[in-house]
A and B are shown apart, each in its own frame.
Chain A
Amino acid sequence: MKMYLSNIFTNSEMQEKYIDIFTSSFLPLVKGALYNTLPLTFIAFGIGLVLAVITALMRLSGSKILRGMARVYVSLIRGTPLLVQLFIIFFGLPSVGVTINPLISAVIGFSLNMGAYNSEVIRAAILSIPKGQWEAAESIGMSHTQMLRRIIFPQATRVSIPPLSNSFIGLVKDTSLASLITYSEMFRKAQEIASQNYEFLLVYSEAALIYWIICVALTFVQDRVENRLERYVS
Chain B
Amino acid sequence: MIKVSRMNKHFGDLHVLKDIDLEVKKGEVIVVIGPSGSGKTTLLRTLNILEQPDSGIINIGEQSIDFSQPVSKKEKLKFRQQTGMVFQNHNLFPHLTAIENVMEGPVTVQKVSKDEARKKASDLLTKVGLGQKLDVYPHQLSGGQQQRVGIARALATGVEVILFDEPTSALDPELVADVLDVMKELAKEGMTMVVVTHEMGFAQEVADQVLFMDEGKIVNQGSPDYIFNQTDESRTRQFLKRIQ
Contact = CB atoms under 8 A, between A and B. Distances in A.
Interface of A: 130, 132-133, 135-144, 146, 150-151, 154-155, 158, 231-234
**Is the contact region of chain A dominated by helix, strand, or loop, or is it mixed?**
helix
Contacts of A142: 105, 108-109
Interface residues on B, range: 20 to 34
Interface of B: 48, 50, 73, 77, 80-81, 83-85, 87, 89, 91-96, 104-105, 108-110, 137-140, 153-154, 156-157
A135 B50 contact: yes
Contacts of A234: 139-140
A139 B77 contact: no
B93 A138 contact: no
B95 A135 contact: no
A23 B120 CA distance: 65
Contacts, number: 70
A139 B93 contact: no
A140 B104 contact: yes
B14 to A, nearest CB: 19
Contact of B93 (A143, A151, A158, A231): A151
Contacts of B153: 136, 140
A143 B77 contact: yes
B50 A141 contact: no
Contacts of B84: 139-140
Which among A141, A142, A155, A158 has the greatest number of chain B C-beta atoms within 10 A?
Answer: A141
A136 B109 contact: no
28 contacts: A132-B87, A133-B91, A136-B91, A136-B92, A139-B50, A139-B80, A139-B84, A139-B85, A139-B87, A139-B154, A140-B84, A140-B109, A140-B154, A140-B156, A140-B157, A141-B77, A141-B81, A141-B157, A142-B108, A142-B109, A143-B77, A144-B73, A150-B108, A151-B93, A155-B95, A231-B137, A232-B96, A234-B140
